[in-house]
Amino acid sequence: MKFTHHGLQVELPDDWWTEAEMRGFVPTFTAYRVNRRLFQNVREVPLEDVGPVSRNAGVGIFNDSEEEGSARERVVRILRGFRFDNAIPPVEIVEGQAGYPYRYKLLHGAHRFYCSLAAGFKCIPSIEGFDRGKG
């Protein structure tokens, strides 16, 4: 499956989508479910208000992680969470700085963000993060 977000071409392998049994999935809410007892300051932000992830050349959106497993495992786990309405942590965002063309910048949660976009959600549950790259 290929899709675009603000000019960024994203590819989610079809076999991952199939493994998560997402065929025919239609969201019943604007965003995936979050445990609001654990994350009390969550707000839903329209996906379109968040700028695309910026990665180095040759680095894809979906990557392996020592802590969270392979990209395939992570994506399938997130997609199944959507399908079963599991509570999934929010992404971290910050307000876009002067000159940044989008209202928000994604700091943490690219897998959750782009899986949400692929699944047809309109919004993303988010919390305010801390931009370590800000001077």
Is 117 inside a domain boundary? yes
pLDDT tens digits for range 91-120: 999 999 999 999 999 999 999 999 999 999
Is 91 inside a domain boundary? yes
Selection from 56, 84, 85, 61 nearest residue 74 by Cα: 61
Q: Which of helix, strand or coil describes residue 77?
A: helix
State pTM to two decimals: 0.91
Q: Provide the number of structural domains found in the chain.
A: 1
Is 76 inside a domain boundary? yes
Residue span of the structural domain in which 45 resides: 2-128
Is 135 inside a domain boundary? no
pLDDT tens digits for range 21-51: 999 999 999 999 999 999 999 999 999 999 9
Is 134 inside a domain boundary? no
Which domain CATH number covers 74? Answer: 3.90.1530
With beta carbons less than 8 A apart as the criterion, state whether 99 and 82 touch.
no
